Structure 1
């Protein structure tokens, strides 16, 4: 099996940007290589043209180009021509691309194209209840029309995307993202910093961070020893125009809360895992995800998680068994679940152990890689 992935992000020092999409692609790419597949990753919008070998994955950096007119069209054709050249040279069987921004709109490939629903702009606009630019919608719709099949990381993401774009549900296969579980071991789950609540993700409204500030205010009223650690890039706020969403959080925190919050910004991935190990409880009150990699990473490391109750999260967590699900707007209820965990070490241990079992069952990349291979084979046969 020879597979190519088209993406704007990938976890490598030479790549400009890497977030959740990048992590999920690398986890799968490396797992496929270990199973004997040949994997080529095409990373566009880069600073240079370069070919890199990383853990058996061949990475092609494609330099960002500008044109006098219609860069959005001509750069897509540039990517198309480069990818097709390598497809023929490497005898690649199938290509995969994300739905975000409809990058493959106006592209035609020599082999079947699969689009994975990492989250289109239209999908996130629907969840956030905001208007999407018509151009963005048309690019994404055109890209989807050109694909032979689709993969959704959760059934919820598949159903919602099908509704938005009028896709046939029988062309959508749910395949969860996966983790290399050996990289997420926690052999001392009872060793952690007491009363520490950890959030990982962009500091942005759609992730529920403004609600998290209110939630933490309530937590402190019940547990004055609680601490909140935030990790991730700060983003501008689309609703108010404020350049820093963290500033909006600061305005929401009580005076007591401000003294118990540490914002670490963006830190190396290895340090993120250490912060997960040190956390007492992890929390992700998001309004908009397709799955949420940090949730399953935290669960893999035996951490109790209080998560949003919206759609996709119900496929990750069984409420009350391997985590808690609460809508982010239910401030008091959300705070109460966090406090319950902070105050009960036995409950944390039980929930953390059950969380690991759930991840081993559904999100082991070795198992999920086989499902991907079988699906790719089904669309090229």
Structure 2
């Protein structure tokens, strides 16, 4: 089969879970004899791009990657001054038309490439950074080829769970974006429910969970003498970091030998302000780290704590389980789809620091229990979320799309 994947955060560009999943799937499909082209659009000053020196087309691990650039006016200004220009253009609504132009450019590029390469299926992801920047409602292109949308969490999804509501223009554009989908594939039951309730999706929604690669590095046994508790992710309230800090402030009174390692960027100053003075030496901020460094930090940890308020289906959580480390995760959203509480991990209310404190302390005290959870979590991850298993399911899904043509 011939595919085009549209992904605006494909590695080695700076990426989140969407880019990671797309890369895992694309590379596995090429190993199975399929052809995959990835098309993405990136801001002129997007990390990694190195301005105009960035290649328009490259091939990595047999995946053909096409990189488009928008906001090219920034090449006339320095990085710092470009930010002020962008804010000014946003204020006077000019940015809307720049972004609309970038969308049309990408749509035309996809159509041309799909025709030229006899593409069977075009796959989009629901998260579209362009929709966050548009000020007015627009229509999106339709395609001759079959289209499927993989649901990771749209801009409306994020806006709703951060603010309790969705901006009308953002909602309308996300609905319009999805309206041209021939097929929709969610990554969790939770995401399916959101689509039906908030984005007015009436058609059938299939579900296949995200895959995790087990081929990165040899998994190291859990070191029960480790004194490192690990958090990684954006430093913001909805990721549960402030709840974790409150819990650790109390944990450190009884277990001063433990330290909290924090990886990620965001509201660092606000997080630091929540740390009580006696604990500051036990909290280490590492900032942004590479994928390889993150794996090393997970391997060195005693357990990992990701008490997020909402997740569609977290790659970060899968990463922890795949390294054979205990995961303390969220009771909300898709958390119960990934973890059986008390069996292969721990689920907590992300706003209840007392519950989180008690669960962490139980694992600190009961090392055998922590070891058992880590082992069972790893086996659960291997059984249900391995790349082989998930891509087997995806191949069946894609074949069903073509059978319905």
State TM-score, norm by structure 2: 0.86
On the 8 A contact 1:118/1:152 being kept in 2, the answer is yes
On the 8 A contact 2:247/2:353 being kept in 1, the answer is yes
Counting only pairs closer than 5 Å after superposition, residues 58-207 of structure 1 correspond to structure 2 as: 58-65=64-71, 70-101=97-128, 106-168=140-202, 171-183=204-216, 185-186=218-219, 188-191=220-223, 194-207=226-239
On the 8 A contact 2:263/2:289 being kept in 1, the answer is yes
Unmatched 5+ residue regions in structure 2? 45-53, 74-93, 132-138
Residue-by-residue CA offset, 1:36-67 (whole Å, 9 max, x unaligned) = 11111001125456111111111001121569
Taking the aligned partners of 2:55 and 2:326, their CA distance within structure 1 comes to: 43
Taking the aligned partners of 1:380 and 1:66, their CA distance within structure 2 comes to: 38
Taking the aligned partners of 2:378 and 2:248, their CA distance within structure 1 comes to: 26
2:60 is aligned, of 41, 54, 61, to 54
Taking the aligned partners of 1:209 and 1:202, their CA distance within structure 2 comes to: 8
- 1:332, CA displacement in angstroms? 1.0
2:284 is aligned, of 262, 265, 289, to 262
Q: May I ask how many residue pairs the two structures share in their alignment?
A: 366
On the 8 A contact 1:115/1:144 being kept in 2, the answer is yes
Question: Is 1:350 paired with 2:377?
Answer: no
- 1:103, CA displacement in angstroms? 5.3
1:328–1:83 Cα change, 3 Å: same
Partner SS for 1:173? strand
On the 8 A contact 2:184/2:206 being kept in 1, the answer is yes
Moved over 3 A (4+): 46-49, 65-69, 101-105
Deviates more, 1:98-107 or 1:336-345: 98-107
1:228–1:73 Cα change, 3 Å: same
Taking the aligned partners of 2:72 and 2:290, their CA distance within structure 1 comes to: 31
2:21 is aligned, of 6, 20, 24, to 24
- Residue 303 of structure 1 is matched in structure 2 by 325
Q: Aligned Cα RMSD in Å? A: 1.9
Residue-by-residue CA offset, 1:8-33 (whole Å, 9 max, x unaligned) = 10111xx3x21211111111111111
- 1:102, CA displacement in angstroms? 7.3
- Residue 273 of structure 1 is matched in structure 2 by 295
Partner SS for 1:368? helix
Question: Is 1:213 paired with 2:245?
Answer: yes
Partner SS for 2:231? strand
Unmatched 5+ residue regions in structure 1? 235-244
Deviates more, 1:220-229 or 1:324-333: 220-229
Partner SS for 2:3? strand
Deviates more, 1:305-314 or 1:115-124: 115-124
Residue-by-residue CA offset, 1:100-140 (whole Å, 9 max, x unaligned) = 23759512223122111111122122223433322211110
Partner SS for 1:77? helix
Residue-by-residue CA offset, 1:143-182 (whole Å, 9 max, x unaligned) = 01111111111111111222111212x5211111101212
State TM-score, norm by structure 1: 0.91
Taking the aligned partners of 2:313 and 2:298, their CA distance within structure 1 comes to: 18
